[in-house]
A and B are shown apart, each in its own frame.
Chain A
Amino acid sequence: MANRVIMPKQGLQMTEGTIIKWFIEEGSEVKEGTPLFEMETDKLTIQIDAPASGKLLKIVRQEDETVPITELIAIIGEEGEDFSNLLNKNEHQSAPEQTDVPKVAKDENQKIFEVVTNSKRIFISPRAKMIAQQNGVDFSKVLGTGQQGYIIEKDIKNYIEYSAKGTPLAKKLASMNDVEINQLQGSGSRNKIVKEDILKYVAEKNRGTTDSEGVIIPFAGMRKIISERMVESLHTAAQATHHIKVDMSEASSLKASFKKADKRVSYNDIIAFSVCRSLIDYPIMNSELTEQGILLKDYVNLGIAVAVENGLIVPVIKDAELMTIEEIGIMTRELATKAKNGQLKPDEYKGGSFTISNLGMFGLDAFTAIINRPESGILAVGKIEKASVVIHDEIVIRPMMVLTLTYDHRVVDGAPAAQFLAAVKKYLEQPYLLL
């Protein structure tokens, strides 16, 4: 039984995606769960894994083609299998252009072909039709947004804008930077304008106009989103900060015990696990200020901030309170890898309820973080460093770490925030309480 590979929907807003690259050649073997192709939406570039194992019998949509969601793009099946019934109506749209046939004849042929194969009537407003014809748009490919799929002016205009000779990402960048995309020469395949063309153009333009010498980093994309979110957070939440010193001796022994048992558990995992427990104990830190009031969430979706090239993203471990310390560790590493490779799916970085940001590896003693709204708190983790501390009137050397909690004072007062932070400390210093 052959399997259909369709353009997957990545996020609520997505209506179509562009195939960037097929990793497997037609006729080669594919394995379920291994990368099959790379695609781009208006939001992100992402690798999609093969949904089934077998032979890649047919690539229906080629690289650089923009395809509406759920439409057939490839077929996986067994060698020699008949898959013609899966192709049917999508096939003619991707038929290769016949360049040697006279133009008029070709158009007529195409028309007849479409009438024969596509018996579905297309409803389009006269104005939309006029604009489509003026711009040479084949409106049979346009998705109508009027009643019952009626194609209206807006649909054609959107289509023209979208199908300009650039990738969706390039167009997004172009519009964010006020670049007239049609002026540019594309460096992608078939001269398509890609992200790099826009960035290069912007950089060159800025070099000419700015007074100061130096390199301009385009203020766009993730950089701009981070900027907006951070400013929005500082403007909205009443952010206050607590610090606490934690003796990591016991956590260190716990980590060593796991290692002895051949299990990989990091300090970060122990901290994440302790935070989950503390959030259960103090749900006010795991809350969101909504229009109805303060929503105490009965789940912990733990965000772990990850530095990526030119930015930062916070993948979210869903239902972290139900996981073992090892599971948290596995999830953290998996999501961090995906984040660094730009493979995170929207539901893997949305819906967090509390965030941990660890910059200890850079040797920081302590730092404050900005709340990742709409969450109510964020924990900033510093380095673990041996320090002399006084215990029972004796100076001893202990691995110490500073935790810094930023909390939204609109929702949480100083005392409960302090209790939460003390609870995290308690679990880290006496990890057996986690049992």
Chain B
Amino acid sequence: MSKKTYAMAIRDCIAEEMRKDSNIFIMGEDIAEQGGIFSCTRGLLEEFGPELVRNTPISENSFVGAGIGAACAGLRPIVELMYMDFVYVAMDQLLNQAAKIRYMFGGKAKVPLVIRGQQGIGRGNAGQHSQSVEALFMHIPGLKVALPSTPADAAGLLRTAIRDDNPVMFFEHKALYATKGEVPDDEDFAIPFGQANVIKQGTDATIVATLYYVDKALKAAEILEKEGISCEVIDPRTIVPLDIDTIIGSVEKTGRLIIVHEAHKTGGVGAEIASQVTENAFMYLDAPPQRLGAKQCTLPFNLGLENAVIPQIEDIVKAVKKTTYK
């Protein structure tokens, strides 16, 4: 085990995989000499050279498309988007091409592509640089979606993403880059997709949280523990595939479900999880599932307003109490 930041865990994993497989290359805006604006590719240019570590122009549609083509041709590209918000520029490439190629070519072509980048609030980056957009990619079949919440998860899930023969959307969070944690030194350490992490056991309510909200959910659980409410905290880690069995198993025990994420509540991942639990485990519910997510408005520039739009720890506490009738 080594103690690393979330950003370094990502960088080291990319380097380790590139050393093993010369088909892997990485491209994106300012990733070569500058090492990426969050240092996730620092030192890669020096080690692997400009052929494998390539700067791109500000043209997401083109370089995401180039990544898809390279993947079809046998390479294993990692494409970094500086902000995941910019993915909208490349939506046709991703949703109409990357997601559908393997199916529409009858399995004769595959797309071993990783699109990675950061999203979320925390820096007052305003409406076009602070969004959480994972739900869009859960809706369209053909893409896998990973949401690492710790340095170890970042390393383990990224390795699985790079080794996967299908396109993977890999959502990092800008507020997590500086967080530190133990990461296994094993260069084959990989976390299989579709395996939720039960971070804390509990008996009274199940809190499902992703990314930045895993930590907030744990803090809420700590507060609730003092008031005699025992919460189970689950991080699904990937939402495609989604480990709904672990969540349902937990709800069968606790009878109460709270889903919290930073992305907008309306039509969000929480809605999907709540629906699946309600469809499959309705009789185990003692209260309606509660969803928490950003309010249905554009994320503000002002940091105070930013916090007013997204759920706070107290909101999680309140939602849990509501389901436990306390």
Determine whether the beta carbon of A126 is less than 8 Å from that of B325.
Answer: no
> Is B12 in the interface zone, CB < 8 Å from A?
no
Separation in Å of the A94 CB from the closest CB of chain B? 30
> Is B222 in the interface zone, CB < 8 Å from A?
no
* One of B40-48, B114-122, B281-289 at the interface: B281-289
Please give, as numbers and ranges, the residues of chain B lying within 8 Å of A426 by CB-CB distance. none
Separation in Å of the A260 CB from the closest CB of chain B? 65
> Is A416 in the interface zone, CB < 8 Å from B?
no
Distance in angstroms between the alpha carbons of A126 and B287 in the assembled complex? 8
Distance in angstroms between the alpha carbons of A146 and B323 in the assembled complex? 10
| Residue from A125, A130, A154 with most neighbouring chain B CB atoms (10 Å) | A125
> Is B255 in the interface zone, CB < 8 Å from A?
yes
> Is A152 in the interface zone, CB < 8 Å from B?
yes
> Is A253 in the interface zone, CB < 8 Å from B?
no
Determine whether the beta carbon of B285 is less than 8 Å from that of A127.
Answer: yes
Residues in A88-143 with C-beta less than 8 Å from chain B: 125-130
Determine whether the beta carbon of B325 is less than 8 Å from that of A128.
Answer: no
Please give, as numbers and ranges, the residues of chain B lying within 8 Å of A128 by CB-CB distance. 286
Question: Which of B282, B284, B286 contacts A152 (CB under 8 A)?
Answer: B286
Question: Which of A129, A130, A154 contacts B325 (CB under 8 A)?
Answer: A154
Please give, as numbers and ranges, the residues of chain B lying within 8 Å of A145 by CB-CB distance. 325
> Is A269 in the interface zone, CB < 8 Å from B?
no
Please give, as numbers and ranges, the residues of chain A lying within 8 Å of B284 by CB-CB distance. 126-127, 130
Q: Interface extent on A, as a size class?
A: 10 to 19
Please give, as numbers and ranges, the residues of chain B lying within 8 Å of A130 by CB-CB distance. 283-284
Please give, as numbers and ranges, the residues of chain B lying within 8 Å of A375 by CB-CB distance. none
Query: Of all chain B residues, which has the CB nearest A124?
Result: B286
Query: Of all chain B residues, which has the CB nearest A128?
Result: B286
Determine whether the beta carbon of A127 is less than 8 Å from that of B325.
Answer: no
Distance in angstroms between the alpha carbons of A137 and B225 in the assembled complex? 31
Distance in angstroms between the alpha carbons of A361 and B216 in the assembled complex? 67
> Is A153 in the interface zone, CB < 8 Å from B?
yes
Residues in B290-326 with C-beta less than 8 Å from chain A: 325
Please give, as numbers and ranges, the residues of chain B lying within 8 Å of A146 by CB-CB distance. 287, 325
Distance in angstroms between the alpha carbons of A376 and B287 in the assembled complex? 48
Residues in B235-290 with C-beta less than 8 Å from chain A: 255, 282-287
Distance in angstroms between the alpha carbons of A153 and B252 in the assembled complex? 12
Separation in Å of the A112 CB from the closest CB of chain B? 25
Distance in angstroms between the alpha carbons of A145 and B286 in the assembled complex? 12
Known: A145-B325, A146-B325. A153 touches B283 (CB 8 A): no
Distance in angstroms between the alpha carbons of A153 and B325 in the assembled complex? 10
Please give, as numbers and ranges, the residues of chain B lying within 8 Å of A147 by CB-CB distance. 325
| Residue from B255, B284, B285 with most neighbouring chain A CB atoms (10 Å) | B255
Distance in angstroms between the alpha carbons of A173 and B255 in the assembled complex? 31
Separation in Å of the A89 CB from the closest CB of chain B? 27
Known: A127-B255, A145-B325, A146-B325. A152 touches B283 (CB 8 A): no
Interface bits B23-56 vs A (CB < 8 Å: 1, else 0): 0000000000000000000000000000000000
Pairs across A and B, CB under 8 Å, 16 listed: A125-B255, A125-B287, A127-B255, A127-B283, A127-B284, A127-B285, A129-B283, A130-B283, A130-B284, A145-B325, A146-B287, A146-B325, A152-B287, A152-B325, A153-B286, A154-B325
Interface contacts beyond A127-B283, A145-B325, A154-B325: sample of 8 additional A-B pairs, CB < 8 Å, sorted by A: A126-B283, A126-B285, A127-B284, A129-B283, A146-B325, A147-B325, A152-B286, A152-B325
Question: What are the 7 A-B residue pairs with the smallest beta carbon separation, nearest first?
Answer: A127-B286, A153-B286, A130-B283, A126-B283, A127-B255, A125-B286, A126-B282
Q: Which residues of B contact A (CB under 8 A)?
A: 255, 282-287, 325
